[in-house]
Structure formats: C-alpha cells, structure tokens
Amino acid sequence: MKVPLAATGLSVIVSGENISGVYPEILSDLSAKEKCNFELSVVPRARLEMMFENGYADILIPATRTSRRDKLGFFIPLVSNRAMLISVQEQSIPVKNFKELLEQKTAKIAVVRGFDYGEKYQAFLKELQKRNRLRFEADPVSVARLLKSGAADYTLMAPSIFAGSVQIDERVTDLEDKLQYQPLQELNWGESGVYFSKKSLSTADVQALQEIFERAASDGLIWKGFQRYYKKEFLKDSVRPRDTLRSSGQIPD
C-alpha cells in the first residue's frame, strides 16, 4: 500500500530520511501484525492531497473528514478533533467567530496548504484571499515562524498539530509557552482518521484495510499512540478518543 505522509506535528515527524510519530509508528506495528506492507514516503501536504485525488496514494492519513474527501475515498474515523484559532498571546485579541476575525482588518492569517477543516473553513479562506490577508505555507513549522516574526497574527489548525511542531523544531520552541488557543463557533468537533482510495484500491483491499484499522482502534492502539507523544493539555482541547468506532457507511459490501 502506497502511503505518502506529510509532516504533521507529533503525528508525523520528519527528520531527514527518518519518519516517526504517532501514525508512522502505528503503520509499522500494523505491518508487523497484519502482514500488510505500507510503503511510506514524505511529501508536502498539498502534494499529498493531489496524489490521493489522482489515485497515486492508496491511503490518506491522518485526515479530517470532509465532504470533498468523501468523494475520493472511503473513510474510517479513528479520533475526534477540531481546529482552533492560534496566536501569540501578547499579539492576540479575543475572537469568537470568523466574523470577528474578519473585523480585525489588519490581521494576517497563515495556514498550511492542503489542510482542510470543512466547508466553512474553506469559505473563510476564500474570503481572506479576497482581502489579501491569507498566507499559505507548506507545513506547520513554516506557519509558526511567521507567527514568531509577526508576519502573521493567527493560524487555524488543530492545537495538537501546531504545538507538536513547535515542540520539535528549535527555531520555534520558544513559542511553546506563549501560544493562545481559542475555539471558534464555526470550527466544531469532527472526525479524523484514514481514507482509502476509491481510485487505486479494489473492494477487497478496502474491506481488508477497514478490518485492520477498526481492530487497531478498538484495541486502543490509536489513542495510546497519541498519549505517548502528546502532552495531556494539548489533547484535552483538540483530540478525543473514539469510544465506539463506527464506519462511515461508505465501505462497500
């Protein structure tokens, strides 16, 4: 199975040729236990999305569930998550929703190209682009460097991803204790998990993968991985375990 990965906080850690983190560790364990070979590679997040869309990636992981991605693959939820508004404390103003953020007419927002938190998120990005207030970056660390320099005022991202990225890159580790996380009305809790490609995988492959990942989730493998890598305070506000795993209803019979 071809599984390209993009740097995603402590969920996917890329250091030169080495790939580690929550999901690479899980995939390695599953390869050993389930006799399923996952071929891992590293690409930027935007390229990963394009590869999955065009059938050059068999699996997209981790991925927040969206209607756009549902057209491309079969989804299995592994955890619940949500994005939040993130800023450096001394630079930020309390914000409750997208409208209030737009009212800060000089505020710049930076996001990772290829990250997707649903239709309201995408519509908001389009509005920011119209106002020339949006910057796309290749990865979370690049976004963190913009916040540190003052070139951007906010980002929209899952706190676990952002905090994990800050924690492991010495160029931005000094931000760790200065960050503020604000929930926004439009960014609700959603599902994060794994997509299996409709283009590149057979029905038999999808059914086998469904069984493998459901078994991993029910055994607690996914949540234990998050607990090993992430501090409790970051998980509390942005990631929750799936107590009862359910399929998306998309998996073919």
pLDDT digits (tens, 9 = 90+) for 53-91: 999 999 999 999 999 999 999 999 999 999 999 999 876
Half-sphere exposure of 171 (CA within 13 A, CB side): 11
Beta carbons of 144 and 162 less than 8 angstroms apart: yes
Which pLDDT belongs to residue 105? 94
Give SS3 for 247: coil
- Average pLDDT per block of 10 residues along the chain, 253 residues long: 94 92 96 91 95 97 95 95 91 87 95 95 97 97 96 94 92 93 94 96 96 92 92 82 57 57
CA torsion sign, 212 to 214 to 215 to 219?
A: positive
pTM: 0.87
Distances (CA, A) of 230 to 17, 35, 163, 223: 22, 28, 9, 10
Which pLDDT belongs to residue 60? 98
| Burial letters 48-63, b for 16+ CB under 10 A, else e | bbebbbeebbbbbbbb
The gap from C-alpha 227 to its chain's centroid, in whole angstroms, comes to 16
Pairwise CA distance, residues 137 & 44, whole Å:
10
